[in-house]
Structure 1
Amino acid sequence: MNRSLLDSLRKGGFIFYSRHGEANVGRDLSNLNFQNCLTQRNLSEKGRREAIYYGDILRYLRIPIKYPVASSPFCRTIETAQLAFGSGNVQVDPFWVDVYRLTGNLPSGDKQRILNGLQSVLELKPEEGRNNIIIAHSFPKGIGLGQIPNMGTVIVKPSGIGNGYEVFGQLFLSDLSKLGC
């Protein structure tokens, strides 16, 4: 990571699409219930540390964030967002469940509807001088923003509604910590 990238991120105007921290506790059951974390995979202790570190490093680097941050309704994404940015700074958005569903066997019409919705979200420019944060899920290989590792972040530069977006880069936690040096 270089200084010019950090300077760009500090000016705002990006969307940070981040996958939740490591989640290897439990499993997503067929009777998954968003109000019952026992029916879902949840963050491990490592995942919790990753989430805390992610928020700490963004603050340390003085990267401006628009609050509230968006989160999928899964317990692992909400907990990641709350640990990183504070429980009062998270807004759950059910749309991100659809992104999670892309990993399943969906009819092509459903898949296209989800990808069109994703396109609309990623085209929306953030408030001047801020960056939007989304804590959600990885994508299947070659779909959407592609595969994202635990606490990996895809940096998106929106061009405005109907004008597309550019994937500016992908960052890992180790990349963010190098920026602080």
Structure 2
Amino acid sequence: MSYISINRILNSLKQGGFIFYTRHGEATVGRDLPYLNFKNCLTQRNLSEKGRRQAKYYGEILRYLQIPIEYPVSASPFCRTIETAQLAFGSVNVQVDPFWIEIYKLSGNLPSFERQRILSHFRSVLETIPERGRNTVIVAHGFPNEIGLGLISNMGTVIIKPDGQGNGYKVVSQLSIADWSSVDS
């Protein structure tokens, strides 16, 4: 699949109407504990120092490029996704949405009907057109290869153009954190 570079779509992004599906910043090595508790970050992998720098930079570059964001930004209940969103957009501009846990679950061994239920709801979210003149931001998790939006790097963003409920969406580009800094301003 070929993607459009950020330079080619920057003016469109400034007009709004896109969804930025962003994976959290780099997390610490290891695994979430089997008794994961969303209110206890010690049971989860958390952002590394590099991940924190990535998150701050992401917010700075979107502001520098004057890309309008619809607030609140949506984040998964994991500590690493909440912290990523808060560092990038400010604590008061983040709303936790439990649905994004479902994306995390796609990496597990789910029955086919459950996987289809999650992906159907996900498609519905991606068909939702943002507030006029703004872009929706979701900070959540990557996907298993060839499922949903596929593999996404740490702080990577998939830019989606929704066509409205029931009308689908188009993946416009997938950008790494480094791609954002290569913009000709």
* CA–CA distance in structure 2, aligned partners of residues 77 and 180 of structure 1: 29
AA at the equivalent of 1:52: K
AA at the equivalent of 2:76: S
Q: CA deviation at 1:4?
A: 3.4
* CA–CA distance in structure 1, aligned partners of residues 40 and 29 of structure 2: 14
Residues 15 and 155 of structure 1 are in contact (CA less than 8 Å); yes or no, is this contact kept in structure 2?
yes
AA at the equivalent of 2:135: N
Residues 128 and 164 of structure 2 are in contact (CA less than 8 Å); yes or no, is this contact kept in structure 1?
yes
In the comparison of the two structures, how many residue pairs are matched? 181
**Alignment-derived partner of residue 96 in structure 1:** 100
In the TM superposition, structure 1's runs of 4+ consecutive aligned residues that sit over 4 Å from their partners are none
AA at the equivalent of 2:20: F
* CA–CA distance in structure 2, aligned partners of residues 122 and 164 of structure 1: 8
The CA RMSD measured in Å over matched residues stands at: 1.0
Deviations for 1:73-117, whole angstroms, at most 9, x for unmatched residues? 000000000000000000000000000000000000100000001
* CA–CA distance in structure 1, aligned partners of residues 145 and 6 of structure 2: 27
AA at the equivalent of 1:158: P
AA at the equivalent of 1:105: N
In the TM superposition, what are the counterparts of 1:165-180 in structure 2 within 5 Å?
Answer: 165-180=169-184
**Alignment-derived partner of residue 87 in structure 1:** 91
Length-normalised TM-score, structure 1: 0.97
In the TM superposition, what are the counterparts of 1:36-51 in structure 2 within 5 Å?
Answer: 36-51=40-55
Gaps of 5+ in 2: none
Pick one of 117, 120, 133 that aligns with 2:124. Answer: 120
Deviations for 1:125-156, whole angstroms, at most 9, x for unmatched residues? 00000000000000000000000000000000
Gaps of 5+ in 1: none
Q: CA deviation at 1:27?
A: 2.9
**Alignment-derived partner of residue 161 in structure 2:** 157
Identity %, equivalent residues = 68
Q: CA deviation at 1:25?
A: 5.1
